[in-house]
Amino acid sequence: MSASFASSTPYEVLGVSAASTDDELRRAYRQRLRETHPDTGGSATLFHAVQVAWELVGTPEGRAAYDAGSGARATVPDARGSRFTGAGRASASSRSEGSSPKARSYGPPGGEEREHYLRLIREWVGRGVELKDPYDPALVRSAPQEIRRWLAKAMAEEETARIVSTLGLGFTVWNNVAVAKTGGNIDQVVLGPGGLFAISSQDWGSEVRVSKGELVGERIADDEEPLRSLGANARALGRSLGVRFSALVVVVPDDDLAAPFEQVERGRQAGAVVIRRSVLAQLLRNGLGGSEGESIDRIFDLRSRLQAGIRFV
């Protein structure tokens, strides 16, 4: 079972409430085994997920440990501890941490998503209830999936920003970039020798794939259209700034994509790629296959233009 907060909890997989009794949990497990068994027309993937869920909460000891927040994810990063805190300048730690110079970083990655998460988790807990730690793993796991998804999205954006920061001074990243014409935003705009990239950092908590020019998956709503949305925002931002993006990139956790990357072959989003997080640095350094990199003079020109025109969410 995925460690992502966006993925289904064991209780959601078994179809019961976290407040269910041990007997109710056991009956649900047996029923879900029958429903998902491949020999009776079920899905091998779901059948395995049911077994993993039971391994996590099927015993009183395991259930108590899971409910207390231990297991797949022991801690939740707090935005207050993020290195990427500047809204219009590169933070000191992004310029130097350890012995290696870091990429320039502007704007708060995941900032808007964390604000959404905090507002929703406080509403869900209820007015008048003291919320000592909104990032307590036990609390996060007990929240509805639509709330957990916002935190997973914020953490995905923060991880992309961290990866870019390790690439050196030849790279610049602008986080949570506003697109006035569409009213939307782009998670990351990254400039480096490999080109200019519009990046969407995602974590749906389930496997995804490219189908008919769009990204699809169990947790992606039919009307979400991640690639179309990224393309529309990138084109609008490019026109307003007078720049052209080298590639559109959707970054997902490694376990959520069957191959290291998938590329859209046809349609308006042709050339867009969906990649595993572990190969993002390689893509940003080398560019998309067949595309030309940027010269140093061109990078300086683009950086000045972007820095002057970009606005943050």
Nearest to 34 by CA among 50, 23, 52, 11: 50
Over residues 233-246, mean pLDDT: 96
The sign one gets for the Cα dihedral 284, 91, 186, 155 is: positive
3-state secondary structure at position 230? helix
pLDDT at 1 (0 to 100): 52
**Count of Cβ atoms closer than 10 Å to residue 195 Cβ:** 23
Neighbours of 87 (CB within 10 A): 13
- Give this prediction's pTM: 0.83
Whole-number average pLDDT of the chain? 88
SS3 113: helix
Handedness of CA 76, 78, 79, 81 (dihedral sign): negative
Q: How many residues does the chain have?
A: 313
Q: Averaged over 113-141, what is the pLDDT? A: 91
Mean pLDDT across 9-21: 91
pLDDT at 84: 40
- Nearest to 288, CA basis, from 277, 299, 274, 308: 274
Cα Rg of the chain, angstroms: 21
Q: Which domains does the chain possess?
A: 10-67 (1.10.287.110), 86-107+159-309 (no CATH)
- Which of the 8 DSSP states describes residue 15? T
Tokens of 176: 């949570």
- Which pLDDT value is given to residue 293? 64
Give the pLDDT mean for 267-286.
93
Lowest mean pLDDT among 40-54, 94-108, 122-136, 274-288: 94-108
The predicted structure's pLDDT at residue 90: 45
Q: Span 93-119, mean pLDDT? A: 81
> Model confidence over 154-187: pLDDT tens digits?
999 999 999 999 999 999 999 999 999 999 999 9
List, in sequence order, the alpha helices (H) in the chain.
10-14, 22-36, 44-57, 60-67, 92-95, 111-125, 137-142, 145-165, 226-241, 280-286, 296-309
Between 268 and 59, the more confident residue is: 59
pLDDT interval class at 290 (50, 70, 90) = low
Q: Render pLDDT for 48-84 as a digit per residue (tens, 0 to 9).
A: 989 999 999 999 999 998 888 765 444 556 654 444 4
